[in-house]
Structure 1
Amino acid sequence: METGGRESERRHTLNLLLTRGLVPFFASSTLYFLLWLPEDNPSCNSALAKCLPILCLALFVHESAPSGPYGLFVWLGLLCSALGDIVLTWPNLFPFGLVAFALAYLFYLMALGWHPIRQALLEPVIAIFILYFGLLYPHLPSSLSLLMFAYVVILGLMLWRALARGRSAALGGLLFSISDAVQAWDTFVQPLPSGRMIIMVTYYTAQALLALSTVEDRPTQS
């Protein structure tokens, strides 16, 4: 009975956190899709609209995640992602945006850690990423090929560790990979129908799932 009561209290506390903490994220992401600011007209307003949902998730993690390295590194990853969103609003700053997101994925990788190893998950990730990068490589500008390779390696490692952790982190890692794969193809190979919608829906969902993973195992407050 006592164990059941603690579990019920934990779930109630978590539900309150999610209800109060994620409302700003859903409101700001809805605003982004409603405004749907055109990509060929970069502005401070469009940059703010794009990064605001991620900043709301960063605030949620800062206020809700238990103290410790996992929540801290996810929070730092969200801040780097927001910076990347701002920079990528201007296409001529694409390499700097790529670096910002690579740093975000490195912070996520540090959060996810290396245990359990689950090496069996690494082999299919390597195979899929090599295949995709091989298809993408002929279309990349020579000035970006090395940076893109490093980015793909970091993303692949992050996906492997997210799958090893499981739960919402695993789904978040998968959606990050889908979002980046669609964006790379849409940017360097050929525009895809509804490409921007697919990119942003999977991207925001992936970030939200990583943020939620910080409170999955939140202890009940005494």
Structure 2
Amino acid sequence: MPTAHRYLFGLALLLGALYIVLLPFKPYPLGWLLKPLPMLLFAWLALRSIRGAAGGWLALGFVAAALGDFFLDYGDRDGLFVQALLAFLVNQLAFIVGFALLARSRSWRLLWSLPVIGYAVLMISWMLPGAGALKVPVTLYFVCLLAMALCAVRVEQRPGPLWLGALLFVIADSLIGVNKFVQPFPHAVLVIVCCYFSGQSLIAWGLLRLRGEAASPATSSAAVGSAG
């Protein structure tokens, strides 16, 4: 992995951690600008690390996540909720396409898929009665969220950071639904943001690892050819 990519990934983690540390002090000037920055850095890293159309779709996914973060923060998590939901829907759809392109010809991993399917079904059944007029968009969003996680598990040779990141993403978004449609719970924003940021960070790290794994065989082949 290029050193510059490591530094940018570290900067994204630092900015995300800073946002979490500053949560008790909100609102503060330009607080809505801090949260999207890590996602924009992840978008650039995805575009530079993953070649072809897959990299473009994954970068789009992170940009859409940054937009969703902006809507949630600028709207104080309620005022622009529908706009945030649409932005994160684009995030999920772009990730689905990107993961599907990366996982072409790989089989489904049913054993690793069952837990997230069961969790998603239970959570959507729990929160839908309280969703009111948002039942249809919330259901559509959760279907896409589930599809994203199921596509993610096919990308790695064995479930790793990318798969774990997708799972945390599902958990984070389900907790948003619980807090909004079922029952607000203590420290909800802190718990949700920690799960969300950890999930996105693990997805980004998993993509960087994919680049490293792809580069290693090429480097080894070049070394063998040179020695020959």
TM category (shorter chain) comes to: 0.7 to 0.9
Write out aligned runs for 1:183-222 (5 A): 183-218=176-211, 219-220=215-216
Structure 1 counterpart of 2:54:
70
Distance (whole Å) between structure 1 residues aligned to residue 184 and residue 191 of structure 2: 12
Mapped pair 1:145 → 2:129: no
Aligned residues: 205
The Cα of 1:80 is off from its aligned counterpart by 0.3
Q: Give the direction of change, closer, same or farther, for the CA distance of 1:156–1:175 in structure 2 (3 Å limit).
A: same
**Contact 1:70/1:214 (8 A) holds in 2:** no
Structure 2 counterpart of 1:157:
147
Structure 2 counterpart of 1:102:
89
The Cα of 1:69 is off from its aligned counterpart by 2.5
Choose the corresponding residue for 2:11, options 17, 21, 24: 24
Structure 2 counterpart of 1:131:
122
Structure 2 counterpart of 1:173:
166
TM-score normalized by the length of structure 1: 0.82
Choose the corresponding residue for 1:118, options 96, 103, 108: 108
The Cα of 1:181 is off from its aligned counterpart by 1.4
Q: Which runs of 5+ in 1 are unaligned?
A: 1-13
For residues 119-157 of structure 1, what are the alpha-carbon distances to aligned partners after superposition, in whole Å with 9 as ceiling and x for unaligned? Answer: 62555543332222111111112x211000000100011
Mapped pair 1:52 → 2:23: no
> Aligned residues: percent identity?
26
**Contact 2:13/2:201 (8 A) holds in 1:** no
Q: Which runs of 5+ in 2 are unaligned?
A: 223-228
The Cα of 1:38 is off from its aligned counterpart by 6.2
The Cα of 1:209 is off from its aligned counterpart by 1.6
The Cα of 1:15 is off from its aligned counterpart by 6.8
Letter of the 1:170 partner, please give it: W
**Contact 1:173/1:206 (8 A) holds in 2:** yes
**Contact 2:162/2:207 (8 A) holds in 1:** no
The answer to which structure, 1 or 2, has the higher relative contact order (CA under 8 A, 6+ apart) is: 1
The Cα of 1:27 is off from its aligned counterpart by 2.1
Q: Give the direction of change, closer, same or farther, for the CA distance of 1:38–1:151 in structure 2 (3 Å limit).
A: farther
The Cα of 1:30 is off from its aligned counterpart by 2.3
Structure 2 counterpart of 1:7:
none
Q: Give the direction of change, closer, same or farther, for the CA distance of 1:44–1:110 in structure 2 (3 Å limit).
A: farther
Corresponding residue SS for 2:80: helix
Distance (whole Å) between structure 2 residues aligned to residue 34 and residue 124 of structure 1: 31
**Contact 1:74/1:210 (8 A) holds in 2:** no
Corresponding residue SS for 1:92: coil
The Cα of 1:35 is off from its aligned counterpart by 2.1
Letter of the 1:130 partner, please give it: V
**Cα RMSD for the two superposed structures:** 2.3
